[in-house]
Amino acid sequence: MASPLSHQLFSRAQRTIPGGVNSPVRAWRAVGGEPRFIQRGKGCFVWDVEGRHYIDYVGSWGPLILGHAPPEVLRVLHDTMRDGTTFGAPTVREVEFAEKLCSAMPSLEMVRLTSSGTEATMALLRLARAFTGRSRIVKFDGCYHGHVDTLLVAAGSGAATLSVPDSAGVPPAVAEATLVATFNDIASVELCFQRFPGEIAAVIVEPVVGNMGVIPPEGNFLQELRECCQRYGALLIFDEVITGFRIAWGGAQQRYGVLPDLTSIGKVVGGGLPLAAFGGRREIMELVAPVGPVYHAGTLSGNPLAVAAGLRTLEVLQQPGTYERLEELGQRLEVGLREALVAAGVQGCVQRVGSMWTLFLGVAQVRSAADARRVDHDLFRRWFHGMLDEGIYLPPSPFEAAFISLAHTEAEIDVTVRAAARVLRQLAGG
């Protein structure tokens, strides 16, 4: 379905913004065509500049767990703005917000607020290296932790090889400090420690992978990772920027019962505004300046507007039945999509944890990044555009998680399933 006004705006944007977007996935390179310019959102719907509305499963890439423009968040933002937007000084709400985070996430004893998940992750790596006196980091193929030089790497020729940069501008010497293991494969992690004894400061992981589509941890993988880090004297870092307050009140660490040493959180905690945090054990966090020698600072860290929106969002999420409701909606969608795949005779699988989900096409199961890379890209492209024509707004990449919000209802889920059934039948027919 053509969008002339979006086309005009995209052409205009490309003259002053690289690629016409402020984050690469928004350019729709993975699916072809040109991105829709979004005018507004309300509840589980977004409207483009042509006035067409869509059921939204992007949710601004995860933050909008309450849906678009939730009245309770808008009210607190309006009230907060009357007192000013930012002060560069401590405020009461940031203390209350830090207390809320520490009470919710099982491993958090202290936290520091930041403005983005990338910033939080960057600070955690510096902190882990300072605490352990070691330099190397282990990450997992397919896990994304923001545009931090150290973590913008791809696997080398095999497990435990020195990594190579995954972006221009990252010096090879920086990339070499990072080792890449395979998610859901504890042996690949052990190999890293065996090859570089006494050199690894930390292992960082998305406890549920959300940036190669949704890939859950299998069996005791997270617990084995915890034990492996303890055995070799390294810290375990959970990147819960996506999963924090998304898949459980206490994040993945509560859902799976595994406590990391350090955690980054973002997206949901900002209530739709730029806000993130990093935290963990007190003895480690007390190395952060001004108490300790590990420097971290930020002009807008803990700014009143983001903290107010985040605190109100967490208060809503803390109400009884919230996560049970998200699970009900997620299960309804998962079952419907699975049935639609079978009925259409299209190979694929639906993988979901709580309210984050992915429909992979062309593969029967995805348990690692290598599996995810085997998806049928052409089939996904046709799926994406078919669903868009049906009024369903999905992430424009086979490697991004989709999200359900509390604003979705059974009605929107059922509309989505019926649309999926029609599109999958079209795909099956060629």
pLDDT in tens, 35-86: 999 999 999 999 999 999 999 999 999 999 999 999 999 999 999 999 999 9
Which is nearest to 10 in space by CA: 273, 19, 118? 19
Cα 339–344–345 angle (5° rounding)? 100
What average pLDDT does the segment 364-389 reach?
Answer: 96
**Average pLDDT along the chain:** 95
pLDDT average, residue stretch 189-205 = 98
% pLDDT > 70, the chain: 96
Q: Determine the pLDDT at residue 1.
A: 64
Label the pairing between strands 45-48 and 53-56.
antiparallel
The per-residue pLDDT for 340 is 98
Distance of CA 23 to the CA centre of its chain: 14
Q: Which residues of 166-177 are buried (b: 16+ CB within 10 A; e: fewer)?
A: eeeebeeebbbb
Segments of the chain assigned to CATH 3.40.640.10: 71-317
- Tokens representing residue 134 in the block: 């070691």
Averaged pLDDT for residues 322-330: 99
Which residues, in sequence order, are CB contacts of 169 under 8 Å at separation 6+? none
What class does CATH assign to 71-317?
alpha beta
pLDDT for residue 160: 39
**Mean pLDDT over residues 107-127, rounded?**
97
Q: For the chain, what percent of residues have pLDDT higher than 90?
A: 91
Residue range 283-312: average pLDDT?
97
Would you name the residues annotated as active-site residues? 144, 239, 267
What is the pLDDT averaged over residues 95-124? 98
User: For the chain, where do the domains classified as CATH 3.90.1150.10 start and end?
Assistant: 321-407+421-430
pLDDT on residue 57: 99
> What pTM value is reported for the model?
0.95
| pLDDT recorded at residue 167 | 73
Q: Peptide bond before 398: cis, by omega within 30 degrees of 0?
A: no
CATH superfamily of domain region 321-407+421-430: Aspartate Aminotransferase, domain 1 (3.90.1150.10)
Distance CA 395, CA 290 (A): 41
Residue 414 has pLDDT above 50, yes or no: yes
